[in-house]
Amino acid sequence: MSYLKERIIQDGIVINENILKVDSFLNHQIDPKVMREVSKQFVEYFGNKGVTKILTIEASGIAPAIWVASDLGVPMLFAKKTEPSTLKSEDLYATEVHSFTKNKTSRVIVSKKYLKSEDKVLIIDDFLANGEASLGLMDLVKQSGAEVVGVGICIEKSFQSGREKLEQAGADIYSICRIKSLANQTVEFVEDEE
Ligand code: 5GP
């Protein structure tokens, strides 16, 4: 069993049948051992694909993304939800992302300087729900002419539409933990996991 799964069983809080709270170890207080272990698994899966850059979205994706970037020895780039005044609009790629948890659509940006057509990009995020964040990141990569090597997710909620949408968009998705259901205040994992 992965350490992340152990922590979910021990400390995950089911808020309702759609939302799992993991802020004691993944996206507020962060357990470095979770990051080390998930990164190891992402590297095992994507490590031989010639990744040149890790891309995520602020804020919760940054911790796992920087760990993977460090393990692969490549830079990590995060899409920003606020536009720096120092960046001119012609110098950035932008897309719209609807946040599942905040029920809010934001424009997210990256500087054109840090995504180049020759890049092979691995997208990393904490959760996969309806796929909006990852699809937005894939759109930014597409605008730059770079290639998406894959999408690495810490916790996939398989009962939501994200995986299907990303697969339709041609992404190779690898999730550390896959949750089948959050009904009845219980976390049920997809069965084929160890
Ligand atoms: P998506 O874009 O796939 O619909 O949702 C992914 C984003 O929403 C993630 O970056 C994550 O921050 C947030 N998110 C989605 N579902 C959950 C959840 O159950 N719990 C928490 N804590 N965040 C979630």
Mean pLDDT by 10 residues, the chain (194 residues): 97 98 98 98 98 97 98 98 91 94 93 98 98 98 98 98 98 98 98 61
User: Which residues sit with their C-beta closer than 6 Å to ligand 1?
Assistant: 19-22, 27, 60, 99-101, 125-133, 162
Residues 6+ apart with CB under 8 A from 1: 194
CATH class of 3-189: alpha beta
State how far the Cα of 57 lies from the Cα of 34, in Å rounded to an integer: 19
Closest ligand 1 atom to residue 21 Cα is 22
Shortest-distance atom of ligand 1 to CA 182: 19
Task: Kindly report the number of other CB atoms within 10 A of residue 147's CB atom.
Answer: 16
pLDDT for 193 equals 52
Coil, strand or helix: which one is 84?
Answer: coil
Question: How confident is the model at residue 192, as a pLDDT?
Answer: 62
pTM for the full model?
0.97
| Cβ(20)–Cβ(12) below 8 Å | yes
In angstroms, what is the C-alpha Rg of the chain?
A: 16
Residues forming a β-bridge with 128: 156
Q: How far is the CA of 155 from the centre of ligand 1 (A)?
A: 9
User: Which atom of ligand 1 is nearest to 100's Cα?
Assistant: 4
Protein residue with its CA nearest to atom 22 in ligand 1: 21
